[in-house]
Chains A and B, each alone.
Chain A
Amino acid sequence: MTQLTEPRSGYRVVGTSPAHHDFVDKVKGSLHYAADWQLPGMLHGRVVRSPVPSARITGIDVTAARALPGVFAVLTAADVPSNQIVERASGGLAELEVTVPVLAADRVRYMGEPVAVVAAATPQLAHEAAELVAVDYEELPGVFDVEAARADGAPRVHEVGNTLVSWQIHCGDVDAALAAADVVIEGEYCSQHVEHAYLEPEAGVGWLENGVLTLRVSTQVIEHAAMIAHILGLPQSKVRVIAAYMGGGFGGKEDMTVEPFLALLVWHTRRPVRMIWDRQESLVASTKRHPFIMRYRTGADRDGTITAQRVEILGDAGAYPNLSPRVLFAAAACACGPYRVPNASITSTAVFTNNVPASAFRGFGAMQIVLGYESQLDELAARLGLPRTELRERNFLAKGDLLPTGERLDTCVEVAETMRRAIGLLGEPPRPSAPGKLVGRGIGCNRHPYGRTIWFRDRASAWLSLQADGTLLIRSGVTDLGAGQAASLCQIAAEVLGARLDDISVYIGDSALNPPAGGTFATRQLYMSGNAVLHAAQELRDRMAPVAADLLGAPADDLEFAGGRVRAHRGDVSITLAELAAACEQRAVSTAHLSTWRAQAGSFDPRTGQGDTFPDYTYGTHAADVEVDVETGQVTVLRYAACHDVGRAINPMRVQGQIQGGAMQGLGYALTEDMAIQDGYVQAALFASYLIPNARDFPDVLVDIVESGEGKGPLGARGIGEPPIGNVAATIASAIQDAIGVRPDRLPMTPERILALLDERTRQDGAARKEDLT
């Protein structure tokens, strides 16, 4: 069902796929997620949310709610010590400064915006109390799409304006290059609001302990502790955030969810409080993926060499900034995909609307635009009569090439190899199963960043200690989404220090007890914390090696750390790690080591659009065979294949899992998922009405992994968390185009839209040609 390259020789633990502690707990059902903790005297919290998308609050009456027996707190904006969440997602580089309230005081800007928060003895009482909070709304005109929001005289979501940020990246002379091009094509592509739909809703428990406000929540980012301290007016030393292993996050738990509300309720009641968002509450109020409008204009020579590209991207940020500035930046930085574009002009703009805020979601802007650049490549191939693969190979980036930002690629680009392998996995092209069905094959390549934008000067720390009995502790502030963030660290440490995997325990996700690792997002944790653990382990080994060498009577560079022992190659003598730990103790050599790893530094100039963007990229290709029913417009995915260059697979099984899961989420995005918002009102009130893929919807995702060994992560790894969701919509659109001769340009590609395209094709007299992709 799945294919896998053989582990590279030279490593013992890296490149194998052991089932680690998290898997064991998960298959036993013994893992305690955020909602699973209870404390004595625990109250239950609930948020009161705005039922309208744009209104002035003319009054809030909490009397009845407070009078309900069993209610311990009903808090409004007036009860929040510092009622603002300070988020400068670009680091203050370019975006409007907008205040985000924890609880709305006099104005609501989206349906679901928090207005009050209650704590009561039972969840039912909290629900009743929330219903009793009487809020008077005077509805105001709202603005619900980005074009309307940019029009003159549009209602202002915020007084300072509706354009949150507009990034520019320019190189060369696009106008001249387009004028001189043999062929110019253009297109507009649109994507939709999308729900993360992690199966674990937002949840957490908070309590006071030794005067420290402690929250144990489902979060990707324990560093929010600083923001929570700011909201409550507490010193940062008095707030502790513990991240439970998450039941999925996908970026939706990168911003705070329950944290500020739990913090307020615990602080006011001095009691433990639990808050679990209903699924239906999560559907309405959680952040979404940004809908994009992407306008592309591409010029090329007759032989298919791309000479110029003009790209305009508009993203619907919703009512507040959240992480929109960075999402739109990633879109801009990746707008030309894995192709050489010597003349480029890219603008990427985040616009406020009165829709629910959009923010981080696996792929983070760099995924939406794949539909844009890959559609252009397919259209160009069709126009020039070139095979889609050949056109791509003619334009693929290579190591040493310049990106439109002026950065030079300093690692290899194996995207052509991923394309060859992905197509190879599909096998023979399919035949239609019946009259009235059309089949087609599609491909989609991508370039996806891993690691934070460079100007944040990212860093991660890890703290290792060899115990007296030769076992090993790893402490890291990493949070674990279920992708093996903690387990990968164990494999890396085991590889270097020789501790057996079963002898390693990893303590993660505690802002008080772990050295900071930064959050788990931006496909950064293997890159950052993996490097931190690698360097910590190497430094600790280097410190202990002379002791071992002394005991073994061998030179320090002749030692092998493996299988719980240190062995001298010459003489074939060895000691256990426990004996080494004891010897270090006698010699006052510390067996604990804290190391901080820093990513490369750089800067970006938002005026010139030149400078440093991301540390590196992961490249990949997906390929698919589809069948289209011309009567119903139904698209059936027959076969699906994905191949990415991950540099080095630390745990191949988990790499496969990331690729398969990312591709499946991408299939939902491409074909079924649509978080429709009508005039600011979220339409999917039930989980049943939001269609994430089930086990029957799509075929198995066939996987091949390229290991180029040239990533910037530990041992040459590249990140793989986000990249595999990026290719899918473009791949499916490419296959549909191959089948029916018309390109879908709007997501999701529902049967209704496919039927409309087929009507269009009838009008166009089926001019499109089909080609062989085998």
Chain B
Amino acid sequence: MNKRQITLTVNGRDHEVWVIPSDTLLDVLHDELGMADVRYGCGEGVCGTCTVLLDGDPVNGCLTLAVQAAGHQVTTMRGLLGADDTLHPLQECFLRRGASQCGFCTPGMVLTSLDLIRRVGRPTREEIRYALVGNLCRCTGYTKILDAIEEYADQ
């Protein structure tokens, strides 16, 4: 299939990439641009490990075509880091609360909850649970993830 060139804006930086129309945003971010914080977990939009923000809204990278992201702002979790790799306050809360075990789900958890807090301010614990149903974690049992998100929302 013919490749076409598109410009992807990821974490504020423009990338010119050649893609075929069926390439997913996940494939291009992970394999072409080397963004290891966007991860294949299921390819069905069920687990949320490939979550990125598209113009601020969380989407599954495995269900989004790369060509659909052209012209939009893509943010991965590493895009939240400050100068010199300093942690975003939400990442600080994840660190302090032990909200990562294997860490594979962490980018999706951080981006989805950040979007929730930006939209509603101080969500209840139940609202956070609801927002995270598309982000699965098999290690932590969720409690420490919820604790971390609540701590950030309280700040």
Instruction: Give A residues with C-beta under 8 Å from B.
Output: 1-2, 17, 19, 22-33, 35-36, 38, 196-201, 245-248, 250, 276, 278-280, 481-484, 653-654, 656-657, 660-665, 686-688, 692-696, 700-701
What are the residues of chain A within 8 A of B60 when measuring CB–CB?
none
Given known contacts A32-B36, A247-B102, A694-B133, A661 and B95 CB-to-CB distance under 8 angstroms: no
Chain B positions 83 through 122: 1 when the CB is less than 8 Å from some CB of chain A, otherwise 0? 0010100011011101111111111001000000000000
A526 to B3, CA, bound (A): 51
The B contact surface, by secondary structure, is loop
A544 to B53, CA, bound (A): 53
Of A1, A23, A38, A278, the residue contacting B98 (CB under 8 A) is: A23
Chain B positions 120 through 133: 1 when the CB is less than 8 Å from some CB of chain A, otherwise 0? 00000000111011
Supply 26 A–B pairs (Cβ within 8 Å), ascending by A: A19-B95, A23-B100, A26-B102, A27-B92, A27-B103, A29-B77, A29-B78, A30-B36, A33-B36, A35-B39, A38-B31, A199-B41, A199-B47, A199-B49, A199-B105, A246-B102, A247-B102, A279-B42, A279-B43, A482-B100, A664-B140, A693-B141, A695-B146, A696-B129, A696-B130, A701-B141
Q: Is there an interface contact between A248 and B139, defined as CB atoms closer than 8 Å?
A: yes
Q: Is there an interface contact between A657 and B101, defined as CB atoms closer than 8 Å?
A: yes
Of A196, A199, A695, the residue contacting B129 (CB under 8 A) is: A695
B148 and chain A: residue at smallest CB distance: A27
Of A482, A660, A692, the residue contacting B144 (CB under 8 A) is: A660
A32 to B38, CA, bound (A): 11
Q: Is there an interface contact between B145 and A687, defined as CB atoms closer than 8 Å?
A: no
**What is the distance, in angstroms, from A150's C-beta to the closest C-beta of chain B?**
34
A688 to B92, CA, bound (A): 31
A197 to B105, CA, bound (A): 13
What are the residues of chain A within 8 A of B94 when measuring CB–CB?
27
Of A2, A199, A245, the residue contacting B136 (CB under 8 A) is: A199
Answer whether residue B57 sits at the interface, using C-beta atoms and an 8 A cutoff: no
The listed residue with most B CB atoms (<10 A of its CB), out of A653, A686, A695, is A695
The A contact surface, by secondary structure, is loop
B37 and chain A: residue at smallest CB distance: A29
Answer whether residue B44 sits at the interface, using C-beta atoms and an 8 A cutoff: yes
A24 and chain B: residue at smallest CB distance: B95
Of B47, B105, B146, the residue contacting A700 (CB under 8 A) is: B146
A197 to B30, CA, bound (A): 21
Given known contacts A19-B95, A660-B141, A482 and B102 CB-to-CB distance under 8 angstroms: yes
A20 to B107, CA, bound (A): 18
Given known contacts A19-B98, A695-B129, A661 and B146 CB-to-CB distance under 8 angstroms: no
Q: Is there an interface contact between B136 and A694, defined as CB atoms closer than 8 Å?
A: yes
**What is the distance, in angstroms, from B104's C-beta to the closest C-beta of chain A?**
3
What are the residues of chain A within 8 A of B31 when measuring CB–CB?
38
**What is the distance, in angstroms, from B117's C-beta to the closest C-beta of chain A?**
15
What are the residues of chain A within 8 A of B44 when measuring CB–CB?
279, 686-688
B99 and chain A: residue at smallest CB distance: A27
**What is the distance, in angstroms, from B136's C-beta to the closest C-beta of chain A?**
6
What are the residues of chain B within 8 A of A484 when measuring CB–CB?
101
Q: Is there an interface contact between B139 and A17, defined as CB atoms closer than 8 Å?
A: no
The listed residue with most A CB atoms (<10 A of its CB), out of B39, B85, B147, is B39
Chain B positions 19 through 61: 1 when the CB is less than 8 Å from some CB of chain A, otherwise 0? 0000000000011001011011111101101000000000000
What are the residues of chain A within 8 A of B107 when measuring CB–CB?
29
Q: Is there an interface contact between A657 and B39, defined as CB atoms closer than 8 Å?
A: no
What are the residues of chain B within 8 A of A665 when measuring CB–CB?
138, 141
Q: Is there an interface contact between B130 and A661, defined as CB atoms closer than 8 Å?
A: no
A35 to B133, CA, bound (A): 25
A482 to B101, CA, bound (A): 5
What are the residues of chain B within 8 A of A25 when measuring CB–CB?
103
Given known contacts A19-B95, A27-B94, A35-B39, A661 and B140 CB-to-CB distance under 8 angstroms: yes
Given known contacts A19-B96, A29-B107, A279-B44, A200 and B102 CB-to-CB distance under 8 angstroms: yes
Answer whether residue B142 sits at the interface, using C-beta atoms and an 8 A cutoff: yes
Of A33, A687, A694, A696, the residue contacting B104 (CB under 8 A) is: A33
A660 to B142, CA, bound (A): 8
Q: Is there an interface contact between A656 and B138, defined as CB atoms closer than 8 Å?
A: no
Given known contacts A30-B78, A38-B31, A696-B129, A663 and B102 CB-to-CB distance under 8 angstroms: no
Answer whether residue B143 sits at the interface, using C-beta atoms and an 8 A cutoff: yes
The listed residue with most A CB atoms (<10 A of its CB), out of B49, B91, B110, B142, is B142
Q: Is there an interface contact between A482 and B139, defined as CB atoms closer than 8 Å?
A: yes
Q: Is there an interface contact between B143 and A660, defined as CB atoms closer than 8 Å?
A: yes
Q: Is there an interface contact between B91 and A664, defined as CB atoms closer than 8 Å?
A: no
Q: Is there an interface contact between A687 and B85, defined as CB atoms closer than 8 Å?
A: no
Given known contacts A280-B43, A660-B143, A687-B42, A483 and B101 CB-to-CB distance under 8 angstroms: yes
Q: Is there an interface contact between B133 and A695, defined as CB atoms closer than 8 Å?
A: yes
Q: Is there an interface contact between B139 and A657, defined as CB atoms closer than 8 Å?
A: yes
**What is the distance, in angstroms, from B90's C-beta to the closest C-beta of chain A?**
9
**What is the distance, in angstroms, from A478's C-beta to the closest C-beta of chain B?**
15
